[in-house]
Amino acid sequence: MWKPDRKNDQPLYQQIADDLERRISYGEFPPGSLLPSERKLAEQLGVNRSTVILAYAELRAIGIIESRTGSGTRVSKFKWGATPKHTPNWHRYVEGGSFLPNVPFLRRIREALQQDKTLIDFASGELASDLAPAQEINRLMEESSRTEYFGYDNPQGFVPLREALVSFLGKYRGIQTSASSILITSGSQQSLYLITQCLLAPGDAVAIEDPSYCYSLPMFQSAGLRLFRLPVDHKGVRPEDVRALYKKHRIKMVFLNPNFQNPTGRLLDPNRRSELLEVASELGLPIVEDDPFSLTAYDGVPPLPLKSDAPTSVLYIGSFSKIAASGLRVGWMVAPHSVVDRLSDARQQMDFGLSVVPQNLAAQFLMSPYIQPHLERLRMNLLYKRDLVIEALRNELRDLVSFTVPQGGLHLWCKIIPEVNDNKLLEEAIRNGVIFVPGSVYGSDSGFVRFTFARPKADEIVSGISKFAAALRSVLG
Amino acid sequence: MWKPDRKNDQPLYQQIADDLERRISYGEFPPGSLLPSERKLAEQLGVNRSTVILAYAELRAIGIIESRTGSGTRVSKFKWGATPKHTPNWHRYVEGGSFLPNVPFLRRIREALQQDKTLIDFASGELASDLAPAQEINRLMEESSRTEYFGYDNPQGFVPLREALVSFLGKYRGIQTSASSILITSGSQQSLYLITQCLLAPGDAVAIEDPSYCYSLPMFQSAGLRLFRLPVDHKGVRPEDVRALYKKHRIKMVFLNPNFQNPTGRLLDPNRRSELLEVASELGLPIVEDDPFSLTAYDGVPPLPLKSDAPTSVLYIGSFSKIAASGLRVGWMVAPHSVVDRLSDARQQMDFGLSVVPQNLAAQFLMSPYIQPHLERLRMNLLYKRDLVIEALRNELRDLVSFTVPQGGLHLWCKIIPEVNDNKLLEEAIRNGVIFVPGSVYGSDSGFVRFTFARPKADEIVSGISKFAAALRSVLG
Ligand SMILES: Cc1ncc(COP(=O)(O)O)c(C=O)c1O
Ligand SMILES: Cc1ncc(COP(=O)(O)O)c(C=O)c1O
């Protein structure tokens, strides 16, 4: 984002006015549109509010913008040519589409992280730069720069990547499959999206875990699905709940993240796992198994996926995001042929397939000698960070929080024992220089916090939890 | 795709039976699902039909599959465990989703290209490997392998790429914009998809060119839009048609590809262009300007985009696909701030953003000294290929075809003068070793052909047109 230059001879307010005028003339703020409030713009630009007031006054003086008390500052309508021109009412278009906006807390978190790069980040559900195999990927990039053709790729995904996944999934996940049963996607996210768009129709009932990552996805609502909850207790979901939901609502699909679940970190109990597979098979009910975390199992023994015991009932979803690099955007789905066919056809309409470059890198990485040592190092480091966050929480907030110690994954799911307002706590934490995700994003009651201890660097964890503790104490008053 | 190995000691039919058994046990063909017909599988595997008959007989003998006359060969239902298990009825799910499948001709073309790598390809709308800057991209990949972090990227797109685009668009397209008005997408395809999903709602009326790339996109129908036609004549669309559609149907948006249109190659006439902008401004009607081809203008003077004269009425879409490398999957949209905001929020739900690696490469490429010489070389080569295809058509089919010579773009739009059946012509051409897109895919009457002369290598064009001519003569009988 543009910021005024304090070393420039022009006064700050003039620089800001010039930049706004330029952006208005480029169509970024069309005639009639609302400009940011003075306070907000001041925050974004890192200047005093009075500087923005001066800049707005300048633009008002030349007739480019208009302010009215109570309705904010807008771009003037009739300054853009001799005859009155009409700009499309973009606001109406933006509000009118059928796709729902993201959960407000998530938008707030994204905004805060963009505005303040110094925030200690327990919110982004991904690895820190010191856990990702950046060096390895860079080396592979250097070596693999001999691509001969960069044309449209196979809609199902780059063949060498699918072939590398066949052996990877066999070796690491106990899944026997073939390249023609794999669809490459832009992370698990796109797998979930394709399933909701292409295999379900508005009005269909589906079951999701509660709490669950899926609650943070308006995608389910945009697709017009009816959502029913499967409460997650210390052993995961209860198979009898699945049966009950089927009886009552004829659910058409079950979405599960059985291993080191996001956000709770819970592992589906082995007995429940077998029972669940029996229920699914008895009812002919498909399970979507979202499995991004299993390979982080701290003891080095990843739990087996449902898919390995129920190849025909499970749509299996995996991703590089939580074990290597979320920015590569490489994920995969293992599914019956007809499903893979249908989804790869549909995604031609959406994005015409994934870029070949990251797919090639992912294939190289899976086939390289780097993968095994990387996963070992990753597990060790996650365990170390988990212990850091737990110790810090015990030191700082012993009687105020409770949690179950996770055995894998990137997150700690933490209950705040006294009653607390999620929104106040989040805002106070941001002011204190730390950020997390309020549990209600995942459909839980308020008073839970998800700490992604994988994301901050190791040396930020203790001070991050201190800042969080100070915020909590201040909110509790 | 797996093929039997003729050098293997095992007989071919046994290899095929083993492979099928493996794929069935992996869940690729669930119990009850239909297997390919003997003829189709034989074609796919490149073996005689009798070999497949033997393989199926083998599998029937061990009870894995069942054949019934008239309803084909299916995977048996009760062989998979002691108790009767129910596999989800995947077929019903695949048919039941709300997203529509691709146009049958396009699916057929994709399938044919996958099956026979020797086809001379006038169908894929992209550059041949000898026109794409593969060497340059490889060099940049080698040099740019110093990325420090591969985390989730900014949802609006990689900042350095957006900044590089600001100067690129200013210099090459006469568009003044800022990084915050740009959204990076997975090619123009995703821009179009996001617009239809997020700015329009089911039942909305929109206008599209006829013929047009958009007719090949079931995406418009999946979004529940009502489509109205703007006929393209030798000067492009007629502004008065836009006004009439607005009056009659309250169209909410106009989708145009004004420069070297796909498929016709037509250029919007300058007078019509100004008139169109006036109509749009008078009606407050947004225009989506899809502009992938302008920089290929053979005379080196790319026509200006609508966007450069109507920044607030136009959503401008660009892409690397037709000027550099379609497999990078890098495209961009220039739009008012509120639109960029809305779309980048929504795409978080769909794919969580584009991979950073191709975005970084695209940024490097735009800022490198390679870009200008590459574009010059591209234009010269396209012109050369255009002339090759035209000369070949004149030599082979002088009285049977007619066309307007395009001044830019990748395609030649060709009318077949005698009456001809599109489907028969396509199948005969495929048998003869050449492939193209039938014009009806783009909404035109039958009897048109789109030749993408950019796609075959120069030395394939003459023989490709010969093969096409032979196919046409044989179909005309
Ligand atoms: C359970 C779960 N599924 C899917 C995703 C999406 O991740 P990606 O698309 O990066 O693979 C996440 C990310 O937070 C997740 O936690
Ligand atoms: C007019 C037009 N728009 C958009 C596209 C989509 O291309 P991409 O997504 O590769 O940029 C195409 C591809 O054929 C096209 O011809």
Rounded mean pLDDT of A340-356? Answer: 94
**CA–CA separation, B445 vs B429, rounded Å?**
19
pLDDT of residue A80: 47
**A472, two tokens:** 């909590």
B418 phi/psi in degrees, rounded to 5: -70, 160
Q: A81 pLDDT exceeds 60?
A: no
Residue of B260, B443, B461 whose CA lies nearest to B451? B461
**CA–CA separation, B368 vs A33, rounded Å?**
37
Rounded mean pLDDT of B188-213? Answer: 95
ipTM: 0.86
**CA–CA separation, A136 vs A223, rounded Å?**
39
CB proximity B277 to A under 8 Å: no
DSSP tag of A130: T
Residue with tokens 């996944």: A165
B207 phi/psi in degrees, rounded to 5: -110, 135
Rounded mean pLDDT of B11-39? Answer: 85
Q: What is the pLDDT of residues B383-413, one digit of tens each?
A: 999 999 999 999 999 999 999 999 999 999 9
Q: Do residues A27 and B182 make contact, with C-beta atoms less than 8 angstroms apart?
A: no
> Which of the pair, A63 or B137, is modelled with greater confidence?
B137
The pLDDT confidence band at residue B71, using thresholds 50, 70 and 90, is confident
**A149, two tokens:** 């053709």
Q: Do residues B393 and B465 make contact, with C-beta atoms less than 8 angstroms apart?
A: yes
DSSP tag of A167: H
Looking at domain B104-131+374-476, its CATH class is alpha beta
**CA–CA separation, B100 vs B96, rounded Å?**
10
The finding on whether B259 has its CB within 6 A of some atom of ligand 2 is no
H/E stretch holding A73: strand A72-75
H/E stretch holding A75: strand A72-75
Question: What 3-state DSSP class applies to A257?
Answer: coil
pLDDT of residue A130: 86
pLDDT of residue A315: 97
Question: What 3-state DSSP class applies to A375?
Answer: helix
CB contact under 8 Å between B129 and A138, yes or no, is: no
Using N-to-C axis directions, what is the helix angle for B356-367 and B134-143, rounded to 10°?
110
Q: Do residues B291 and B259 make contact, with C-beta atoms less than 8 angstroms apart?
A: yes
Rounded (5°) CA angle A162-A163-A165: 65
Q: Tell me the sheet residues that pair with B256.
A: B289
Mean pLDDT for all residues in chain A: 92
- SS3 letters for chain B? CCCCCCCCCCCHHHHHHHHHHHHHHCCCCCCCCECCCHHHHHHHHCCCHHHHHHHHHHHHHCCCEEEECCCEEEECCCCCCCCCCCCCCHHHHHHHCCCCCCCHHHHHHHHHHHHCCCCEECCCCCCCCCCCCHHHHHHHHHHCCCCCCCCCCCCCCCHHHHHHHHHHHHHHHCCCCCHHHEEEECHHHHHHHHHHHHCCCCCCEEEEEECCHHHHCCHHHHCCCEEEEEECECCECCHHHHHHHHHHHCCCEEEECCCCCCCCCCCCCHHHHHHHHHHHHHHCCCEEEECCCHHHCCCCCCCCCHHHCCCCCEEEEEECCCCCCHHHCCEEEECCHHHHHHHHHHHHHHCCCCCHHHHHHHHHHHHCCCHHHHHHHHHHHHHHHHHHHHHHHHHHHCCCEEECCCCCCCEEEEEECCCCCHHHHHHHHHHHCEECEEHHHHCCCCCEEEEECCCCCHHHHHHHHHHHHHHHHHHHC
Q: Tell me the sheet residues that pair with B185.
A: B331
Ligand showing the shortest atom-to-Cα distance for residue A124: 1
Strands A437-438 and A182-185: unpaired
When computed from its CA atoms, the radius of gyration of chain A, rounded to whole angstroms, is: 25
Q: CA distances (Å), A102 to each of A210, A320, A426, B56, B345, in order?
A: 18, 23, 17, 51, 6
Domain ranges of chain B: 12-96, 104-131+374-476, 139-369
CB proximity B134 to A under 8 Å: yes
Rounded mean pLDDT of A91-117? Answer: 88
**A68, two tokens:** 């009215």
**CA–CA separation, B259 vs B277, rounded Å?**
15
| CB-based burial label for B385 (10 Å; 0-12, 13-18, 19+) | buried
H/E stretch holding A319: strand A314-319
Percent of chain A residues topping a pLDDT of 90: 73
pLDDT of residue B82: 38
With beta carbons under 8 A apart, name residues in chain B contacting A80. 312
What is the least distance, in Å, from the CA of B45 to any CA of chain A?
A: 14
What's the length of chain A? Answer: 477
Q: Do residues B330 and B356 make contact, with C-beta atoms less than 8 angstroms apart?
A: no
**B191, two tokens:** 């821009």
* Cβ neighbours of residue A252 closer than 8 Å, sequence gap 6 or more: A200, A204, A205, A206, A285, A286, B93
The CATH number given to B12-96 is 1.10.10.10
How many contacts does A have with B, using Cβ atoms within 8 A?
374
Strand order of the β-sheet with B401-403 is: B401-403, B411-416, B448-452, B437-438
Q: Do residues A357 and A145 make contact, with C-beta atoms less than 8 angstroms apart?
A: no
Q: Do residues A59 and A20 make contact, with C-beta atoms less than 8 angstroms apart?
A: yes
Q: A146 pLDDT exceeds 80?
A: no
Mean pLDDT for all residues in chain B: 92
The pLDDT confidence band at residue A444, using thresholds 50, 70 and 90, is confident
DSSP tag of A236: B
The finding on whether A124 has its CB within 6 A of some atom of ligand 1 is no
Rounded mean pLDDT of B301-309? Answer: 96
The finding on whether A396 has its CB within 6 A of some atom of ligand 1 is no
pLDDT of residue B78: 56
* Cβ neighbours of residue A7 closer than 8 Å, sequence gap 6 or more: none
The finding on whether B209 has its CB within 6 A of some atom of ligand 2 is no
**CA–CA separation, A342 vs A119, rounded Å?**
43
**CB nearest to B178's CB, from A28, A97, A98:** A28
Q: B83 pLDDT exceeds 50?
A: no
* Buried/exposed code over A15-26 (b: 16+ C-beta within 10 A; e: otherwise): bbbebbbebbeb
Rounded mean pLDDT of B282-296? Answer: 96
Q: Tell me the sheet residues that pair with B231.
A: B210
**CA–CA separation, A118 vs B145, rounded Å?**
26
pLDDT of residue B348: 93
Overall pTM > 0.90: no
**CA–CA separation, B7 vs B18, rounded Å?**
16
Q: Do residues B55 and B14 make contact, with C-beta atoms less than 8 angstroms apart?
A: yes
A74 phi/psi in degrees, rounded to 5: -125, 160
DSSP code string of A397-424? HTTTEEEPPPSSSSEEEEEESS---HHH
The pLDDT confidence band at residue A82, using thresholds 50, 70 and 90, is very low
Q: B470 pLDDT exceeds 60?
A: yes
- What's the start-to-end Cα distance of chain A, in Å? 36
**B68, two tokens:** 């019934």
**A225, two tokens:** 């699905």
In CATH, the architecture of A139-369 is 3-Layer(aba) Sandwich (3.40)
pLDDT of residue B84: 47
Residue of A49, A54, A59 whose CA lies nearest to A21? A59
pLDDT of residue A84: 47
The finding on whether B263 has its CB within 6 A of some atom of ligand 2 is no
Rounded mean pLDDT of A126-141? Answer: 92
CB proximity B173 to A under 8 Å: no
Q: B80 pLDDT exceeds 60?
A: no
Which of the residue ranges A114-118, A293-297, A370-374, A385-389 would you say has the lowest mean pLDDT? A114-118
Q: A424 pLDDT exceeds 50?
A: yes
Q: Do residues A28 and B177 make contact, with C-beta atoms less than 8 angstroms apart?
A: yes
Dist. CA A468 → ligand 1 center (Å): 25
When computed from its CA atoms, the radius of gyration of chain B, rounded to whole angstroms, is: 25
Rounded mean pLDDT of B148-152? Answer: 85
Which of the residue ranges A292-306, A403-417, B57-71 would you say has the lowest mean pLDDT? B57-71
What is the least distance, in Å, from the CA of B217 to any CA of chain A?
A: 7
Which amino acid appears at position A423 of this protein?
Answer: N
Q: Tell me the sheet residues that pair with A288.
A: A255, A315
Which of the residue ranges A248-252, A362-366, B80-84, B215-219 would you say has the lowest mean pLDDT? B80-84
**B223, two tokens:** 């979004």
Taking CA atoms, what residue in B is nearest to A98?
A: B201
Q: What is the pLDDT of residues A53-77, one digit of tens each?
A: 989 988 887 778 888 877 889 888 7
* Interfacial B residues in 287-326 facing A (CB < 8 Å): 311-314, 321, 324-326
The pLDDT confidence band at residue B308, using thresholds 50, 70 and 90, is very high
**CA–CA separation, B182 vs B331, rounded Å?**
10
Ligand showing the shortest atom-to-Cα distance for residue A151: 2
* Buried/exposed code over B432-455 (b: 16+ C-beta within 10 A; e: otherwise): bbbbbbbbbbbbbeebbbbbbbbb
* Interfacial A residues in 176-195 facing B (CB < 8 Å): 176-181, 185-187, 189-190, 193
